[in-house]
Amino acid sequence: MNKLITTAIVGTGQIPQPDITTGTPVDTLSQQLSGDIERKLLLTAGVLSNYQQAGQKAPENTVSFSPAPPERLPVFAPASSALETIITNSQKEHFKGLLLDACRQLQAHKLILPFHLMPQVLNPGLTHQNRIQLRYHLAAVLGERGRWLSQFYPEWSWVATYQALHEQDPTTLHTLWQEEGQSFRHEVLRRVRAIEPDTAREWLQTSWNEEKAEARALFVSVLSDQLSEKDLPFLEKAFSDRSARVCGEIAKLLVRIPQTAFARKVYEQAPEFLTIANGTCKIHTLSDIGEPWLTPTKNQPTNATVQLLALVPPRIWEERTGLTPEGIINSAEGTRTMLIEILAAATILHRDVRWSRALLDRFYREDDMDMLRMSSEVVVELCELIPAEEAEAYMERVLTARGFWLYVLPTLPQPWSENLSARILDTVRSQSTQNRFWREQLDLFAAGIAPSYLAQAIETLQQAKEQVKEGYYIESALEKTIEAIQIRKNLIEELP
Amino acid sequence: MGLQITKEQVTAMAPDSSSAKNGQKLSAMKNWQNLGQNEQALWGECRGSAIYQVKVDAATLTATCSCPSRKIPCKHGLGLLFLVASTPDALPTTDPPEWVEAWLTRRAEAAKRKEAAPKKSASVPSQKAVEKRKALVDKGIERLDLWLSDLVRNGLGGADTQPQAFWKSVDDIAKQMVDHQASGLANRLRRLTEIPGSSPDWPKQLLAQCGKLALLSEAYRNIDRLHPALQEDVRQLIGWTLKEDEVLARGEKVADDWFFLGQIQITADRGVTQRTWMIGRQTKRPAMISQFSLNGTAFSQVYPTASVQQAEVVYWPGAAPMRVVLASRNGALQPLTEHLPGTESIDHFLGQVAQILALQPWQDYFLCVLNTVIPFYEHETGHWWIRDAQNKVLPLAKGNYWSLLALSGGYPIDIACEWNGATLTPLGALIEKRYHSIVREGV
């Protein structure tokens, strides 16, 4: 065929005596042709093409690969397309959180994702604001088939890694700790710390000198879970770290063990920086704190002071002044925002329930503008210190105060409780014309509303949609949210 | 048992994606009232801006709605089918209401009238008209031969070095073929423009296609010397199309349980051509229904893939008939759950292809149904393959097939594909008694 093709490419007009033989039995036929060379070439090519197509032999391929192992859990066999819709739309704002929720639902029901949907969740294009969390839950529902499939595409190798996290096999976890990237290693260490606190510390101790400062700061914070005196030798040695950030993290741990020299020093030194006399609180910014890792800078002279004071348990101020938490909060003059910041950080660090209540009480008073400056993340962390029911009662108070909840809702773990969901829907009904509310919070609804309130949420949002007089954007956002909630509801109803 | 249909099948019936989406939205129970079904039909009233009455023929899935939409099926029809797909129990088996009864009666009467009507003899054009057209086609063939000879005289290399001139030249000659009532040749010519640069061996492919065109013109010039069946093929390939009544009158009738395996859609200048591939359970014969949609209009018939239906097809006359018209659909559509009637050997399949080519050398597409084969991906080359038990392989068309791989899990499956002589385009695969339509993925 080569000669024939060459002649055809160059053109019979360019070759004095074109050769159109093919070296095949087709030549016998072409020799019988009459007419010009172009016609002969074309007919020969046509016959040869058929000759080759008809005589086509399939090549052999003996590359061996094992089939997927059998699943240990049943595969979810949905009748409707709810799960597929959630996966396909997982990048859309109004579907935010639904894929994670779906994975958790399947995981709770001990089910595996349908096989044909697996490639969609494995694709590297899939992004999520909390990728580690999503991949962790995805790995649990990808089963054996997902792991088998992931071997064919290097970017899917995370499946095996995350599945190892679920299996909690010490050898595998140790390999992951040694080989994976920083954020994943943090996740591994966190999980090991929860089940074997000493092992986690030993791993960290072994690799400590080889880690970068950023990693050291991140990893050492893991020891805050199940912190004990057994951690002291390592922490006290590591406290001489060159990185101020690492020392800052270690200080937060040391100060929680009162018998350490550092804790004692901080408790004793604290009154030098914060004094409360005659009901008035003053914060003194000093040029030398006496801690090499805490050096005030020109640009932010108060930072070091705030950082140090945030290490002091709030009850210390009560003991020293004889004031109630309320009295201490009220005592600040001119530096109230800073004092609240210090007290909130210290409350969270020392997990002080009583102080958490005191701060939340003040936060939810509408007239206290200084309290309002507290970030929503801090509010949520304070809420986490108190019993869930009590925290929800605070949330209810937030919901009644117009606008406040806009700050808090995005930081709450999803799905919300039944009580909170009910209150949120009540608020929607009473504030249905609040444009800002629709714009900023609707995307949280689909994954946030408690499963038992989904039908009510659809009804409520439908009513709100009917009341919208103007604004295509709001109407469209409501419609999308209703659709997403309906799909989540369908999925939940399908689960066994 | 009522109609069994999947969401996948309903989606495939939608004329466009927005209709599918709107249909899905309307599939919620709250939008429907007076739902019901019997052996002949399913029905319901959809509450929208007004109440629309929707009826679906259970045998053909043809949806009729009282809404003003020109789409076929409309979103209400799709909504009802999506509802059946997601909640089969939503439509109770009951006596039809008056408006459905009236519709069924009208349909039955129309069918009876059609049956009773004297069979029209296939319309035969006058001798003068035939002669006139023949002369026109002959002239067209002369021009085509001249153009082909010029092409190889000047060299195919020009298609690569001066692509625009090549495209224009092809377009001009294709238009001339249309003017000379040889639309089949025009279509084949237009396909030539897709070849240059499409693969490393494009000159070979271009020459092969030009050669096949030359063979076709040669065959037409010597049509009287061909077997009558092949004469039919040559005439159809040139552009002498047959009307449906001619096919029904002259074609071979085959009754069987037909498996609707899948569809391939090809977008051309003015519309979309759809090939629906089927295979008979008993006869194991492949069949293909071709439909054309002009400028985005809906296809006239709906053929839900992954279904089996007892039907009679009539093959277009030819030496190796493949194209059919569905003459009658006699039973309800059933989900495709059983072993596909294919072959376990790739060599055997290629042998079948050779037999077809020996009878009809211009056949471009073939149905390939393979049993117990394994799809796999070769990461080093990025190629996808199908392998049989003898380790023989055929490549899949460019694209990705991760869902197919995930479904198979490396175990043998039954698969239906379209073979174009070089690659297989998967239509669907039967895995654990469920037929899955396979879509080529972009990633």
User: What does the block give as tokens for A489?
Assistant: 């509801």
Cβ <8 Å between B152 and A11: yes
Closest CA to B76 of B41, B28, B37, B4: B28
Cβ <8 Å between A42 and B204: no
Within 10 angstroms of residue A98's Cβ, the number of other Cβ atoms is 25
Q: Does B86 touch chain A (CB under 8 A)?
A: yes
Angle between helices A388-400 and A418-430 (to 10 degrees): 0
User: What does the block give as tokens for A128?
Assistant: 């999520």
Which residues are registered as beta bridge partners of A57?
Answer: none
Ranking A284-288, A378-382, A486-490 by mean pLDDT, the lowest is A284-288
Question: How many residues can be counted in chain B?
Answer: 443
Closest CA to B97 of B31, B48, B33: B33
| Per-residue pLDDT at A128 | 57
Q: Is the dihedral of CA A383, A386, A389, A390 positive or negative?
A: negative
Closest CA to A315 of A279, A343, A275, A289: A343
The shortest C-alpha distance from B428 to chain A (Å) reads: 13
CA distances from A96 to A89, A152, A410, B410 (A): 9, 29, 11, 34
Cα A466 from chain centroid (whole Å): 35
Cβ atoms of B23 and B81 within 8 Å: the answer is yes
Q: Give the rounded percent of residues in chain B with a pLDDT score beyond 70.
A: 97
Backbone angles phi, psi at B425, to 5 degrees: -105, 110
Measured between alpha carbons, how far is A60 from B394 in angstroms, rounded to an integer? 9
E strands, A395-495, where?
none
Ranking A275-289, A334-348, B353-367, B378-392 by mean pLDDT, the lowest is A275-289
Closest CA to A437 of A457, A456, A464, A416: A464
Cβ <8 Å between B152 and A8: yes
**DSSP string spanning A30-60?**
HTT--S-HHHHHHHHHHHHHHHHHHT--PPB
- Whether residue B373 has pLDDT greater than 80: yes
A273 three-state secondary structure:
helix
Closest residue in A to B362 (Cα–Cα) = A50
Q: Which amino acid is at B339?
A: H
The shortest C-alpha distance from A89 to chain B (Å) reads: 13
Cα-trace Rg, chain B:
24
| Per-residue pLDDT at A338 | 81
Cβ atoms of A58 and B346 within 8 Å: the answer is yes
CA distances from A289 to A255, A257, A307, A309 (A): 16, 21, 11, 11
| Per-residue pLDDT at A252 | 92
Residue of B11, B156, B204 to mutate for A, most A C-beta atoms under 10 A: B204
Average pLDDT in the A190-201 region? 90
* First-last CA distance in chain A: 63
Average pLDDT in the A262-276 region? 82
Which of chain A's residues have a Cβ under 8 Å away from the Cβ of B406? 115-116, 118-119, 145, 149
User: What does the block give as tokens for B54?
Assistant: 């929707």
- Whether residue A179 has pLDDT greater than 90: no
CA diameter of chain A: 121
Cβ atoms of A335 and A283 within 8 Å: the answer is yes
User: What does the block give as tokens for B439?
Assistant: 């879509």
User: What does the block give as tokens for B6?
Assistant: 């999947």
Which residues are registered as beta bridge partners of B338?
Answer: none
Cα B191 from chain centroid (whole Å): 18
Question: Which residue shows structure tokens 């108190």?
Answer: A386
CA distances from A111 to A126, A415, B226, B315 (A): 22, 20, 63, 48
Q: Going by C-beta distance under 8 Å and a sequence separation of 6 or more, which residues neighbour residue B278?
A: B258, B259, B260, B261, B286, B287, B288, B289, B313, B324
- Whether residue B238 has pLDDT greater than 80: yes
Q: Does B203 touch chain A (CB under 8 A)?
A: yes
- Whether residue B206 has pLDDT greater than 90: yes
| Per-residue pLDDT at B443 | 43
- Nearest by CB: B409 against A12, A46, A68: A68
| Per-residue pLDDT at B275 | 94
Q: A439 or A446: whose pLDDT is higher?
A: A446
- Whether residue B214 has pLDDT greater than 80: yes
| Cβ neighbourhood burial of A167 (10 Å; 0-12, 13-18, 19+) | exposed
| Per-residue pLDDT at B138 | 95
Compute the mean pLDDT over every residue in chain B, rounded to the nearest whole number.
90
Closest CA to B330 of B59, B67, B130, B120: B59
Average pLDDT in the A397-413 region? 66
In terms of average pLDDT, the best of A163-177, A288-302, A368-382, B272-286 is: B272-286
Q: Give the single-character DSSP code of B364.
A: -
Measured between alpha carbons, how far is A99 from A349 in angstroms, rounded to an integer? 33
| Per-residue pLDDT at A346 | 93
CA torsion A80→A82→A85→A89, rounded to 10°? Answer: 180
- Whether residue B360 has pLDDT greater than 90: yes
| Per-residue pLDDT at B388 | 96
> How does pLDDT run across B89-142, given as a tens digit for each residue?
788 888 999 999 998 888 888 878 877 776 656 566 788 888 899 999 999 999
> How does pLDDT run across B380-412, given as a tens digit for each residue?
888 999 999 999 999 999 989 999 999 999 999
Q: Give the rounded percent of residues in chain A with a pLDDT score beyond 70.
A: 87
Q: Does B282 touch chain A (CB under 8 A)?
A: no
Angle between helices A213-220 and A182-195 (to 10 degrees): 30
Ranking A447-451, B124-128, B185-189 by mean pLDDT, the lowest is B124-128
- Whether residue A299 has pLDDT greater than 70: no
- Whether residue A298 has pLDDT greater than 70: no
Average pLDDT in the B213-240 region? 96
Measured between alpha carbons, how far is B431 from A70 in angstroms, rounded to an integer? 15
Measured between alpha carbons, how far is B374 from B385 in angstroms, rounded to an integer? 8
- Whether residue A16 has pLDDT greater than 70: yes
User: What does the block give as tokens for B79?
Assistant: 């909504």
Q: Going by C-beta distance under 8 Å and a sequence separation of 6 or more, which residues neighbour residue B2?
A: B37, B42, B84, B88, B91, B93
Q: Is the dihedral of CA A131, A135, A137, A142 positive or negative?
A: positive
Cβ <8 Å between A1 and B204: yes
**DSSP string spanning A92-106?**
SGGGTTHHHHHHHHH
Angle between helices B183-192 and B163-179 (to 10 degrees): 170
Q: What is the pTM of this model?
A: 0.81
* First-last CA distance in chain B: 40
Question: How many residues can be counted in chain A?
Answer: 496
Q: Give the rounded percent of residues in chain A with a pLDDT score beyond 90.
A: 38
Q: Going by C-beta distance under 8 Å and a sequence separation of 6 or more, which residues neighbour residue B82?
A: B7, B10, B23, B24, B26, B27
Which of chain A's residues have a Cβ under 8 Å away from the Cβ of B155? 8-11, 13-14
CA torsion B219→B221→B227→B232, rounded to 10°? Answer: 80
Q: Give the single-character DSSP code of B222.
A: T
Average pLDDT in the B188-207 region? 91
Q: Give the rounded percent of residues in chain B with a pLDDT score beyond 90.
A: 57
Which of chain A's residues have a Cβ under 8 Å away from the Cβ of B409? 67-68, 115, 145, 148
- Nearest by CB: B392 against A58, A149, A153: A58
Q: Does B402 touch chain A (CB under 8 A)?
A: yes
Closest residue in A to B429 (Cα–Cα) = A116
Cβ atoms of A159 and A124 within 8 Å: the answer is no
Angle between helices A98-108 and A472-494 (to 10 degrees): 10
Cβ atoms of B415 and B408 within 8 Å: the answer is no
B81 three-state secondary structure:
helix
E strands, B220-283, where?
252-267, 271-280
User: What does the block give as tokens for B33?
Assistant: 């009232």
Which of chain A's residues have a Cβ under 8 Å away from the Cβ of B86? 79-81
Q: Which amino acid is at A87?
A: I
Residue of A49, A52, A88, A491 to mutate for B, most B C-beta atoms under 10 A: A49
Domains of chain A and any CATH numbers: 3-54 (no CATH), 81-254 (1.25.10), 259-350 (no CATH), 360-408 (no CATH), 414-495 (no CATH)
**DSSP string spanning A145-184?**
HHHHHHTTSGGGTHHHHHHHHHHT-HHHHHHHHHHS-HHH
> How does pLDDT run across A89-115, given as a tens digit for each residue?
888 888 888 999 999 999 999 999 999
